[in-house]
């Protein structure tokens, strides 16, 4: 078994839609970034790459590569899974925590898990998504952006 940790953070950009785990969240400002700035997908991608000792998301998907400009981060996850599978690994589990003051993500959790598990090619029971606030502390607490932490457990395929 191999474990990896991922983290991502993006500032809010009200001119963009908010996308988390590949799901558009209505009536909320989006996030600024080269792709769709999906902090949840990015943190999971980094955790998977780390667990497989394949570097990091910036190495594989640099913001200088126009191929990933405004791309869906579900496509990034699919590409990462191809790399991870190519190394002979399968997902044991994914656990992620989104740090965001608003909106509440509970109404979207099932849809997010389904989108993530579909992109990763695993049963939704292997993907857990949680959300929390930072109780008004720091940039996330001040409503400047959102962040995500993720852990991936890989096993031999």
| pLDDT, tens only, 102-134 | 999 999 999 999 999 999 999 999 999 999 999
Give percent helix, percent strand, percent coil of the chain, each to the nearest 5: 35, 35, 30
The pTM (predicted TM-score) of the whole model is 0.97
In whole angstroms, what separates CA 97 from the centre of its chain? 10
Q: What is the pLDDT along the chain (157 residues), one digit of tens a residue?
A: 999 999 999 999 999 999 999 999 999 999 999 999 999 999 999 999 999 999 999 999 999 999 999 999 999 999 999 999 999 999 999 999 999 999 999 999 999 999 999 999 999 999 999 999 999 999 999 999 999 999 999 999 9
Q: Yes or no: is domain 2-156 CATH 3.40.50.11310?
A: no
Q: Residue 25 gets which letter from DSSP?
A: E
């Amino acid at each position: 078994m191999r474990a990896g940790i991922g983290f991502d953070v993006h500032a809010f950009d009200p001119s963009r839609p908010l996308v988390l785990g590949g799901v558009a969240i209505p009536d909320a400002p989006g996030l600024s970034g080269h792709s769709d700035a999906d902090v949840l997908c990015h943190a999971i991608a980094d955790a998977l790459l780390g667990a497989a000792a394949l570097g990091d998301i910036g190495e594989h998907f640099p913001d200088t590569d126009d191929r990933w400009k405004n791309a869906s981060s579900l496509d990034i996850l699919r590409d990462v899974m191809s790399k991870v599978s190519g190394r002979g690994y399968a997902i044991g589990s994914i656990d992620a925590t989104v740090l965001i003051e608003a909106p509440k993500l509970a109404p979207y959790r099932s849809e997010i898990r389904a989108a993530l598990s579909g992109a990763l090619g695993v049963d939704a029971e292997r993907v857990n998504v949680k959300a929390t606030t930072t109780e008004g502390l720091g940039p996330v607490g001040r409503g400047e952006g959102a962040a995500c932490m993720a852990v991936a457990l890989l096993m031999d395929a």
